[in-house]
Structure 1
Amino acid sequence: MTVPHPPPTSSPDTSSRSSSEKPPIPNQNLPAQDLEKTPGASPPTLADLYGPAPDGGARAWLVALGAACIFFSCLGIVNSFGVFLQYYHTHQLSSYTPDQIAWIGSLTACIQFLAGGISGPLFDRYGTWVIRSGAILYVLGIMMTSLCQEYYQFMLAQGVLTGLASAMIQVPAFAVVSQYFDKKRAAALGLVVSGSSIGGVVFPIALGKMLNDTSLGFGWSVRVMGFVVAPMMGFCCFSLKARLPPRKTQFFLWGAFTELRFVGLVAAGFLVLLGMFTPLFFLPSYAVSMGMDKILASYLLAIVNGASTFGRILPGILADKYGKLNIYGVGSLATGIVVLCLTRATSTAGLVVYAVFIGLTSGTLVSANSAAFSTCTNNPQNLGTYIGMGLAVGSIAILVGPPVNGVLLDKYGGYLEVSLFSGVMCLAGGVVIMATKLTTPEGLFGRV
């Protein structure tokens, strides 16, 4: 016996529905556009379709580990450029001035952030194939650097190729991790970027030792670094998987530049990046000018990066509790103060202590920068684009900052002007970050 159905023209009386009955659940296997067309259904959110960010679990932490391998390999080597600069100035590029040599490292850092303005949207649209392509190019760039002898060759291999490859993997890595973490996002990004601190300990010590205390020579010293990086790149290609499907809307989100919070963070990031790389580029050469042994001077970068491990993890945890912009602003102000104190460190002990403090303060800035941009959108599918566009503008500061400091060094013959310029830029960036909080609903004293 079949139960008769009500006529099609009759509408159900919702007031007579039993309290034990539940409203119909949307079919989560349908694509978003089909659900939106369902009569009476509200537009589904990404959490409705794919669930909320897990904020932990084996899959999420495997993604974070793969991203940490990327930063170990990329920023770890970029953070070692002070060792390269010191070696180039006395060997292959001895006829060039420090500011000319600094263009190589600043070009690397500039491109890896500038091209992030493209790799971020590419990841949002096409997924993790961008990371796999970049991983191959990065290893190739290191191997090509080992063959360089002329200035233009270093610019092309170490400056352009490794910078472009880094951009293809770093910004997408930020975006992938952000898809798996929400409430713990700043802490997760801090753990990810701490990989660069570990790389910044390993690579300067190993490179300085191989270049100055072995018979390997420049070529094989750099190739050894390539052999270390290659399996790291392989692991990241295996572990990094996007949780959300690609978006098919416009490539760049130009509307972001009409949002006061985003514009404020872009301006602040520009100022901070203009000054924060100074210790990584010039601390070894400053230490040598103070009478420190060259090998010991190369260890200073390892100390900076070792200390920055704590400067990246702990502020990330605090940022999730006390606000991402709060920690970013405090870190920028603290970094500016420490950079201003560079010329007060004149002894070996003083330089070691200085390296620890600059590591603790500046370590906050890389992960905090990306975490701050993630507050500008509620859609995880747009995170790569927001982070990439923001860092792309900051790349100009990275390109200009170290050479400007090199010019100041050549003109005045000392490091006081270098520390004054870079320290003031970081302080100004911190002030702008705090002012940006006025554009948020929480206001200046809120936890945002």
Structure 2
Amino acid sequence: MMTTTGEAGEAERSKESAPPPSYPEGGRRAWIVVLGCFCVMFYTFGYLNAFGVYETYYLREALHEYSPSTISWIGSLQLFFQFAGGLIAGPMTDLWGPRVVLWPFSIIYVASVMLTSICKKYWHFILAQGVLGGLANGLAYAPAVAVIGQYFHKRRPLAMGIASSGSSLGGVIFPVMLDRMIYHTSLGFGWAVRIVGFLVLFLCMTACLTVVARLPPRKGRYFLLHAFKHPAYTIQVVGMFFVWWGLFTPFFFLPSYAESRGVRLDLSIYMLAILNSGSLVGRISSGFAAPHLGRFNLLVMASCACGILVFCWLRVVSTAAICVFAVLYGVFSGFVIALFPTTIAEVCAHPTEIGSYVGMALGVYGFPGLTGTPITGAMIARYKGYDEAIIFSGAVLIAGASLTFLARCLFAKGRGWRV
């Protein structure tokens, strides 16, 4: 026990005496890694962003006997494991490198998409799409976030914005693909999902070949629990817990909300594509804006803007207004999704620990991902309308933005306002 303590102390002293880490901030290898991470974001968060299409199809066709709240558990489980998988994959990436994680779980993820195409019953979808797909998603996502942090520091928001724009582009392409193939061809649901699976397979192979670590793996403990001793990290994680609790409500329920307001089915499904088009703009813009305004500052402003927009959703009733809401919410939610890994990495002491810091935070974020949309779905079913769900989502977004602002103030001490 004394030897272990002595080794840990020696490791801490050597870390403190070591020179600050350097970053390439670009180069062919670094941008190829960004391309691979773009592919990861495309088939993880991008596919998840299209769940509203599945929700609409399940409500109308495959699972029409179930309530919106019950069906939303499929997407919520997927979202939970998307985040919670980082608790496993983040430290694994730091200790053994990204390929140990990416290769096996990319294969599992493709299998989950193919299995979804043959599902018939509710529990089939829960297991194939919710559990297996979500877990493989999360285990592929965390290495991509961690590895980008090894190549970039000053330009990290730009690199992360470009990579995370893949999820927005996926959120545009997947809904349109699924809608056209399911409702406008003779392919049907099964072959529509299988074709999506082949696209996912191509993206997985590209990611596995291009996402490569720059630094040797770190040695030491699996979890770095000392991170929670830093208030800027802990309060930020708690604040973003509340943000994630409300952020995905429009992604899940905007299509069904639009249809309830008289928007035709095709256009209501395309609301997701419109929302993700706005998100694409937000994610790329965040990379250019962050060096001038600060990463924490932008994250707080974007989280607050999302909360305000959700409250405005209460009075959004016309087709044009719903489209405008989708674009604006997409832009600001894009800022949030692109920036949250960069602010976590900012409080990290060394780039070889980024995976663990991000992974532990993602593990916490899994719980609001699991419960957020079932809560709002239950409110929609209980009150026969969307107002109560919208108020809940807006309130937790504002609460999360306030706590994230507190973390920003703690981190900014001695660093100036542009953090």
Residue aligning to 1:92: 62
1:116 matched to 2:114? The reply is: no
Task: Render the CA deviation track for 1:63-113: whole Å, top value 9, x for unaligned.
Answer: 001100111111111001111001001212111100000000010011010
| Residue 208 of structure 1, CA deviation | 1.2
Structure 1 CA distance for aligned equivalents of residues 351 and 18 of structure 2 = 14
SS in 2 for 1:423: helix
| Residue 443 of structure 1, CA deviation | 6.6
Structure 1 CA distance for aligned equivalents of residues 135 and 334 of structure 2 = 23
Worse-matched range after superposition: 281-290 or 418-427: 418-427
Residue aligning to 1:189: 160
Closer/same/farther in 2, CA of residues 414 and 321 from structure 1, 3 Å limit: same
1:407 to 362, 368, 378: 378
Structure number with higher helix proportion: 2
1:389 matched to 2:356? The reply is: no
**Gap runs ≥5 in structure 2:** 1-6
1:62 to 32, 35, 43: 32
| Residue 260 of structure 1, CA deviation | 0.5
Amino acid paired to 1:81: F
On the 8 A contact 1:276/1:362 being kept in 2, the answer is yes
SS in 2 for 1:446: coil
2:349 to 350, 375, 378: 378
On the 8 A contact 1:275/1:421 being kept in 2, the answer is yes
| Residue 341 of structure 1, CA deviation | 1.5
Task: Render the CA deviation track for 1:257-299: whole Å, top value 9, x for unaligned.
Answer: 1110111111111000000000000000000000111111110
Amino acid paired to 2:51: F
On the 8 A contact 1:437/1:443 being kept in 2, the answer is no
Task: Render the CA deviation track for 1:221-272: whole Å, top value 9, x for unaligned.
Answer: 1001001111111111111110001112000001111110111111111000
Higher RCO (CA-CA < 8 Å; seq separation 6+):
2
Structure 2 CA distance for aligned equivalents of residues 377 and 445 of structure 1 = 18
1:323 to 268, 273, 294: 294
Closer/same/farther in 2, CA of residues 439 and 43 from structure 1, 3 Å limit: closer
Amino acid paired to 1:190: G
1:78 matched to 2:45? The reply is: no
| Residue 419 of structure 1, CA deviation | 1.1
Residue aligning to 2:171: 200
1:295 matched to 2:266? The reply is: yes
Residue aligning to 1:134: 105
| Residue 433 of structure 1, CA deviation | 1.0
Amino acid paired to 2:166: G
On the 8 A contact 2:379/2:388 being kept in 1, the answer is yes
Residue aligning to 1:3: none
**Gap runs ≥5 in structure 1:** 1-32
For residues 212-361 of structure 1, what are the structure 2 equivalents within 5 Å?
Answer: 212-361=183-332
| Residue 322 of structure 1, CA deviation | 2.2
Residue aligning to 2:3: none
Amino acid paired to 1:205: V
CA RMSD across the alignment: 1.7
| Residue 123 of structure 1, CA deviation | 0.6
On the 8 A contact 1:185/1:320 being kept in 2, the answer is no
| Residue 43 of structure 1, CA deviation | 4.6
Residue aligning to 2:4: none
Structure 1 CA distance for aligned equivalents of residues 45 and 338 of structure 2 = 12
Structure 1 CA distance for aligned equivalents of residues 102 and 227 of structure 2 = 25
Structure 1 CA distance for aligned equivalents of residues 315 and 231 of structure 2 = 38
On the 8 A contact 2:245/2:393 being kept in 1, the answer is yes
1:430 to 401, 405, 410: 401
Q: When the two structures are superposed, what TM-score results if normalisation uses the length of structure 1?
A: 0.88
Amino acid paired to 1:91: E
SS in 2 for 1:241: coil
SS in 1 for 2:44: helix
Residue aligning to 1:10: none
Q: When the two structures are superposed, what TM-score results if normalisation uses the length of structure 2?
A: 0.94
Residue aligning to 2:340: 369
Structure 2 CA distance for aligned equivalents of residues 358 and 438 of structure 1 = 26
Structure 2 CA distance for aligned equivalents of residues 295 and 404 of structure 1 = 27
Task: Render the CA deviation track for 1:166-198: whole Å, top value 9, x for unaligned.
Answer: 111111100111101011111111111000011
SS in 2 for 1:214: coil
Structure 2 CA distance for aligned equivalents of residues 73 and 354 of structure 1 = 25
Residue aligning to 1:22: none
2:74 to 104, 121, 145: 104
Residue aligning to 1:152: 123
Task: Render the CA deviation track for 1:417-444: whole Å, top value 9, x for unaligned.
Answer: 1111101111111111111123225379
On the 8 A contact 2:85/2:136 being kept in 1, the answer is no
| Residue 445 of structure 1, CA deviation | 6.6
On the 8 A contact 2:311/2:391 being kept in 1, the answer is yes
Residue aligning to 1:16: none
Return the index of the structure with the highest Cα Rg.
1
Amino acid paired to 2:29: R
Amino acid paired to 1:204: P
Task: Render the CA deviation track for 1:98-153: whole Å, top value 9, x for unaligned.
Answer: 00000000100110101101100011011122111121111111001111011111
SS in 2 for 1:215: coil
SS in 2 for 1:196: helix
Structure 1 CA distance for aligned equivalents of residues 395 and 168 of structure 2 = 25
| Residue 317 of structure 1, CA deviation | 2.1
On the 8 A contact 1:284/1:298 being kept in 2, the answer is yes
Amino acid paired to 1:126: W
Amino acid paired to 2:135: L
Structure 2 CA distance for aligned equivalents of residues 441 and 46 of structure 1 = 19
